[in-house]
Structure 1
Amino acid sequence: MPPTHPRPITRRELWILTGIARGAEDPQIAERLGMSGDCTKMRVNRMIHRYGTGNRAGLIDYAYRQGWLAGLAREQRVPILLLPRPLRVILAGAAAGLPNAEIADRLGLSVRGVRRQFECLFDVLDARHRSHAVALGWQLGLLGAGRRAEGPAERSAA
């Protein structure tokens, strides 16, 4: 569980989070910030530990929940009107920082099946990786307080 009064985020950490949310990899982020890839990776791991998020995708979800990425302009994407339940569970699991095995248990799938579902989610959202998918989920209203309500057919399937 994240600490109740974490240390404030630094400007450099915000830039790193912004890069991750945009789908950039460590070397790209490091180059833009004039630091080494190892330094970038170390800062990300420190934030994951400090905020207790489990992984990068959980860190991006936490950053949106804290409002740190609220000013980040929405990426141009086709609006997602309906995301099938398995993909919603995959996205929510990624946002919660869950490993594939735990998501598989929740969906009654194999770990390989979860990986396939992630690939499908990445295709639907046009995401580069889990963290990017979580950021796009927030931007499209699929995660967080602005989450779109499920339709009646979706609620009964859940």
Structure 2
Amino acid sequence: MTAQTRVPAAVAAVVATQALTRLGHRITTEEASTLGRATIEALAADGWTITATAVGARRLSQVSPTLWEHDLPVLAGLARGRTAREIATETHTPEPTVRQRIARLIGRTGAANSAELLSIAYRSGWMTALAPEPRGPITLTEPQRQILALIADGLDNQAIADALGMPLNTAVGHMRRVYAALDATRPGQRNHSSRCLAVALAYQHGHLPLPANQRQTAA
């Protein structure tokens, strides 16, 4: 083995990604990058030769350079109304790791919460590979459409009520009717609605607008 072999930058990036995944908010992106480079330099100094291969490499997603491959199953799970624990079970990933990935997606996109994260994902074209969930004809009133848009913008209940100039109880009542109309209840839990599922269904069935170049993919 020789220490003179040039190590691909992608290898250091993989090390940095692993550090970010495991250390969560205790380490910044810049610190992780420094750690990745230092790790590679230390290995090379000890005489190791490192070769990047496709096997096991965590490459950036083909959907967007801002996404990693492991981000897509997380977004798909949120769009189906899954909790972090359920996504962890389905993807055979530790639950804390799934929570970290959601938090980092929210941080990278600037979303206020998971509902707005999904809105950004749909408008960015990241969700086109996820088949729409079947629903019958859905009719929403104009106030319900407005509330749905505000949910997609990441507003909480009180902020939605304030934005529409109505009492909180009235706004919550409208929200419940929106969830019922979309059938946005969490799988297997008929009494629990999901904001993420509501936002996903709204984009899938044309109740929230997609960019013009994506409209043909919405069902």
Normalising by structure 1, report the TM-score: 0.82
Change in CA separation of 1:31 and 1:58 when aligned onto 2, cut-off 3 Å: same
Q: Offset of 1:122 from its aligned partner? A: 1.0
Which moved further from structure 2: 93-102 or 133-142? 93-102
Partner of 1:70: 128
Which runs of 5 or more structure 2 residues have no equivalent in the other structure?
A: 1-63, 186-193, 213-219
- Which residue does 2:99 correspond to in 1? 41
Q: Which has the higher contact order (CA 8 A, sep 6+)?
A: 1
Alpha-carbon deviations, 1:102-157, whole Å to 9, x = none? 2101222222332222211111100031110000000110112379xxxxxxxxxx
Give the conservation status (yes or no) of the 8 Å contact 1:61–1:134.
yes
Alpha-carbon spacing, 1:37–1:140, altered in 2? closer, same or farther (3 Å): same
Secondary structure of 2:70's partner?
helix
Which of 30, 36, 54 does residue 112 from structure 2 map onto?
Answer: 54
In 2, the alpha carbon distance for the partners of 1:41 and 1:117 equals 30
Q: Which amino acid aligns with 1:88?
A: R
Q: Is the 8 A contact 1:79 1:140 kept in 2?
A: no
Structure 2 CA distance for aligned equivalents of residues 102 and 138 of structure 1: 22
Q: 1:111 aligns with which of 168, 182, 189?
A: 168
Q: Which moved more, 1:109-118 or 1:13-22?
A: 109-118
Q: Distance in 1 between matches of 2:155 and 2:65?
A: 24
User: Deviation above 3 Å: which 4+ runs of structure 1?
Assistant: none
Identify which of 121, 144, 147 aligns with 2:209. Answer: 144
Q: Distance in 2 between matches of 1:117 and 1:42?
A: 32
What is the count of residue pairs matched by the alignment? 141
Counterpart of 2:70 in structure 1 is 12
1:61-140 aligned at under 5 Å gives the runs 61-80=119-138, 82-128=139-185, 129-140=194-205
Q: Give the secondary-structure state (helix, strand or coil) at the position aligned to 1:105.
A: helix
Q: CA deviation at 1:57?
A: 0.6
Deviation at 1:93, TM superposition (A): 0.4
Indicate which of 83, 103, 127 corresponds to 1:25. Answer: 83
More displaced, 37-46 or 14-23? Answer: 37-46
3-state DSSP of counterpart to 1:11: coil
Structure 1 residues 88, 50: CA separation in 2 closer, same or farther (over 3 Å shift)?
same
Cα distance in 2 for residues equivalent to 1:77 and 1:41: 29
User: C-alpha root-mean-square deviation of aligned residues, in Å?
Assistant: 1.8
State, as a whole percentage, how many aligned pairs show the same letter. 38
Query: 3-state SS of the aligned residue for 2:73?
Result: helix
Can you give the 5+ residue segments of structure 1 that lack an aligned partner in the other structure? 1-5, 148-158
Deviation at 1:101, TM superposition (A): 1.8
